[in-house]
Amino acid sequence: MKIAILGGTGAEGAGLGFRWAAAGHEIMIGSRTAERAVASAAELTAELPAGAPPITGADNVAAAEQAEVIVLSVPYAAQESTLQAVRAAVQGKLIVSVVVPLQPPKVARVWHPAGGSAAEEAQVVVGEGATVVAAFQNISAHHLRDLSYQLDCDVLICGEKAADKELVEQLCADAGMRGVNAGALANASVAEGLTAVLIGINMRHKIKDAGIRITGI
């Protein structure tokens, strides 16, 4: 699958892209400037196991145009401008939002934007021609580029269409995680808020990879 990661030069986006490339997906790192994306892609490709397809880089618009699935992994403050820039390129495609609305410096305190969640606001920006699913908000980037590390965290997947969430569940499995259907896109506000809770747990326990696990299924 061709996957564009907008904001892929950051730790979370780069780590997810690295794992998906290792699983055989065609990954394009997107950034505001093509030069930065190309440099990040080259660095990631050099770490991939033998036989994995190389990761490429391009500006956000070019990456979105070439991809089947778009992963949005930018800071909340950059979400609207990024989506406005690629709006035409993402029509008819699935957008997986990894965005978490945080308000520095109080990043360990839950804050909900006016639109309910970052994912819901993203859906408004791109319009009905594209579909947004929220996922991967609670995954620590700390071990993503270590393929030998078993990630001890489930992924909550929020969206409107079952088929879209099933596709994201497969992407979770390809990256070595378990995806859990967490219901409608409106529920993304809870998943996004949990990230602030986990940041606080990390700070208090002096760790870097607190996560969540859904029991009983």
| Cα–Cα nearest to 125, from 159, 167, 97, 156 | 97
The pLDDT value recorded for residue 184 is 98
The range of the structural domain enclosing residue 115 comes to 2-205
The torsion angle over the Cα atoms of residues 41, 37, 56 and 166, rounded to 10 degrees, is 90
Residue 213 lies in a domain: no
Residue 196 lies in a domain: yes
What is the total count of domains within the chain? 1
Residue 137 lies in a domain: yes
Average pLDDT on 12-21 reads 98
Residue 212 lies in a domain: no
Q: pLDDT band at 106, cuts 50/70/90?
A: very high
Contact 41, 55 (CB under 8 A): yes
- CATH number, position 148: 3.40.50.720
Q: pLDDT band at 4, cuts 50/70/90?
A: very high
Q: Can you list the alpha helix ranges (DSSP code H) found in the chain?
A: 11-22, 34-47, 60-66, 76-86, 118-126, 162-174, 188-205
The pLDDT value recorded for residue 24 is 98
| Cα–Cα nearest to 19, from 143, 147, 135, 148 | 147
Contact 161, 136 (CB under 8 A): no
Average pLDDT on 180-200 reads 97
CA distance to 63, 173, 198, per residue, from 117 (Å)? 25, 25, 17
How far apart, in whole angstroms, are the C-alpha atoms of residue 195 and residue 106?
Answer: 12
The pLDDT value recorded for residue 99 is 98
User: Using CA of residue 149, residue 48, residue 14, residue 98, what is the dihedral sign?
Assistant: negative
The pLDDT value recorded for residue 195 is 97
Model pTM score = 0.96
Average pLDDT on 57-67 reads 98
Tell me the pLDDT tens digit for each residue of 113-143. 999 999 999 999 999 999 999 999 999 999 9
